[in-house]
């Protein structure tokens, strides 16, 4: 039986926290995408998340907390980390920091690394759950490993639903694209994954930021950044100015196609926030066997466009 509760239902977060306390798994909304949460201190529960999601054990999970004070118990925050957290939390920024000596997060959740990826989400339902639970919640995006992240409760696939104890339905996610992952374990902050906080916003507050070059580096710094990820079933054709009659076309702004079998526009006004918000939704809608492939209009590589292009490029890698 599928156990779904609207986040507006009285006592929803208590019920969810109770399940987490007993080692269960709860899918919950954040402002970015839905997460599949477990008590990060409970090895069995964390293992269940890896198993249910078919996630490789070398790929660590993000640890969610209610506030910066709880986060400070788990990782070492230097002055820069405190500043970054105060500026961007609660919000869609994940910080990679050294693990604190008395950190009680399961080593399995962190794939054995000496670092921890921490995030304080601002979505009210996520905040409610985290405050009620008052411990660390390990939560990857609530999709089978390698496929498109869910931005609505009904995007969570049946194969996951069957193995989840409770789904908190908080409606569509406000941003719709995952958090930015920022590594603060090095002298100069570097982006490991582009996401909902654009590079420009980080530069504005922090000065120079490095972008980690995953393809030219042999060290696996963010093990989750596998080349093929966010994959659609049908092939993607990127930077397509026009489409073929047998193709679906994912348009952006004025760049649209009359020939395509179907056209959906990420944002008619060319707004990158709107495009980020619709990306996973429209990819799901166009990913049908009746279309030979999905042609995607060029997306400007600035602001949120960087994260959009990152997801599209990885989804386009052939398996
Ligand atoms: O918006 C989000 O970040 C969502 C919501 C649910 O919070 N979560 C999410 O989790 O996207 P996931 O598991 O799909 O992606 C987590 C990313 C992966 O690329 C993983 O490798 C990286 O964070 N990561 C986790 N711990 C890390 C660490 N210690 N060092 C470097 N990268 C880490
Ligand atoms: Mg994911």
Out of 27, 74, 75, 117, mutate this one to test ligand 1's pocket (max ligand atoms within 8 Å of CB): namely 117
pLDDT at position 221: 58
- The arithmetic mean of pLDDT across residues 130-158, rounded, is 95
- Strand 93-98 and strand 180-183: the pairing is parallel
Q: From the CB of 74, is ligand 1 less than 6 Å away?
A: no
CA of 226 to the centre of ligand 2 (A): 11
199 in Cβ contact with 286 (< 8 Å): no
Nearest CA to ligand 1 atom 7: 35
Determine the pLDDT at residue 211. Answer: 84
172 C-beta closer than 6 A to ligand 1:
no
Distance, CA 94 to ligand 1 centroid (Å)?
Answer: 8
* pLDDT, position 230: 78
Which residues, at least 6 apart from 204, have a Cβ–Cβ distance to it below 8 Å? none
**Atom 3, ligand 1: which residue's CA is nearest?**
179
CATH of domain 3-211: 3.90.870.10
Ligand 1 nearest atom to the CA of residue 35, by list position = 6
Probe target for ligand 1 pocket from 137, 143, 152, 224, with the most ligand atoms within 8 Å of CB = 224
Sign for the CA dihedral angle at 62, 63, 69, 74 comes to negative
Residue whose Cα lies nearest atom 10 of ligand 1: it is 140
pLDDT in tens, 50-86: 999 999 999 999 999 999 999 999 999 999 999 999 9
Q: What is the Å distance from ligand 1's center to 264 Cα?
A: 29
- What average pLDDT does this structure show over 251-280? 95
Pocket lining: 194 vs ligand 1, CB cutoff 6 Å: no
Residue 159 pLDDT: 83
Q: Read out DSSP for 175-227?
A: S-SPPEEEE-SSSS-EEEE--SS-HHHHHHHHS--EE--STT--S-SSTT--S
- Whether the per-residue pLDDT at 128 is higher than 80: the answer is yes
Tell me, using a 6 A CB cutoff, whether residue 143 lines ligand 1.
no
pLDDT score, position 225 = 58
Q: Per-residue pLDDT for 291 more than 70?
A: yes
So what's the pLDDT on residue 208? 87
Q: What is the pTM of this model?
A: 0.94
- pLDDT given at position 162: 86
Q: Is 118 close to ligand 1, i.e. is its CB under 6 Å away?
A: no
The distance in angstroms from the start CA to the end CA of the chain is 34
**Positive or negative, the Cα torsion across 52, 158, 129, 69?**
positive
3-state SS, residue 53: helix
- Per DSSP, the three-state class of 160 is helix
- At residue 210 the predicted structure's pLDDT band, cuts being 50, 70 and 90, is confident
User: Can you give the pLDDT at residue 317?
Assistant: 86
pLDDT at 267 over 80: yes
Q: What is the pLDDT averaged over residues 197-212?
A: 92
Looking at the chain, the domain(s) classified CATH 3.90.870.10 span 3-211
- In this prediction, residues 211-221 reach a mean pLDDT of 62
**Portion of the chain with pLDDT greater than 90, in percent:** 86
Residues 6+ apart with CB under 8 A from 69: none
Query: Which ligand has an atom closest to residue 144 CA?
Result: 2
CA of residue 169 to ligand 1 center, whole Å: 21
Measured in Å, residue 18 CA sits from the centre of ligand 2 at: 25
H or E stretch covering 93 = strand 93-98
Residue 219's pLDDT is what? 53
- Could you tell me the distance, in angstroms and rounded to a whole number, from the CA of residue 292 to the centre of ligand 1? 32
Who wins on pLDDT, 160 or 136?
136
Residue 300 vs residues 93, 141, 242, 265: alpha-carbon distances, Å? 22, 26, 17, 15
Q: What is the mean pLDDT of residues 193-199?
A: 97
């Amino acid at each position: 039986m599928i156990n779904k509760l609207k986040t507006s239902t009285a006592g929803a977060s208590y019920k969810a926290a109770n399940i987490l306390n007993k080692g269960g798994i709860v899918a919950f909304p954040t402002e970015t995408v839905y997460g599949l949460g477990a008590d990060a201190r409970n090895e069995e529960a964390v293992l269940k998340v890896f198993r249910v999601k078919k996630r490789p054990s070398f790929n660590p999970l993000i640890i969610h907390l209610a506030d910066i004070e709880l986060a400070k118990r788990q990782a070492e925050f230097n002055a820069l980390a405190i500043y970054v957290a105060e500026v961007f939390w609660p919000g869609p920024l994940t910080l990679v920091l050294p693990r604190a000596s008395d950190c009680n997060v399961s080593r399995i959740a962190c794939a054995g690394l000496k670092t921890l990826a921490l995030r304080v989400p601002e979505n009210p339902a996520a905040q409610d759950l985290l405050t009620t639970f008052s411990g660390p919640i390990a939560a990857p995006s609530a999709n089978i490993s390698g496929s498109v992240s869910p931005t609505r409760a009904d995007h969570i696939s049946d194969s996951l639903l069957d193995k989840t104890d409770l789904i908190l339905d908080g409606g569509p996610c406000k941003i719709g694209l995952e958090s930015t992952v920022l590594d603060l374990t090095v002298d100069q902050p570097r982006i490991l994954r582009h996401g909902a906080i654009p590079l420009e916003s980080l530069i504005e507050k922090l000065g120079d930021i490095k972008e980690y070059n995953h393809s030219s580096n042999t060290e696996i710094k963010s093990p989750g950044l596998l080349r093929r990820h966010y994959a659609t079933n049908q092939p993607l054709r990127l930077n397509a100015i026009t489409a073929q009659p047998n193709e679906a076309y994912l348009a952006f702004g004025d760049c649209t196609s009359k020939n395509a079998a179907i056209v959906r526009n990420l944002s008619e006004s060319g707004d990158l926030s709107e495009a980020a918000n619709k990306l996973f939704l429209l990819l799901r809608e166009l990913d049908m066997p009746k279309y030979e492939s999905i042609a995607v209009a060029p997306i400007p590589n600035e602001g949120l466009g960087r994260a959009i292009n990152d997801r599209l490029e990885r989804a386009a890698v052939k398996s």
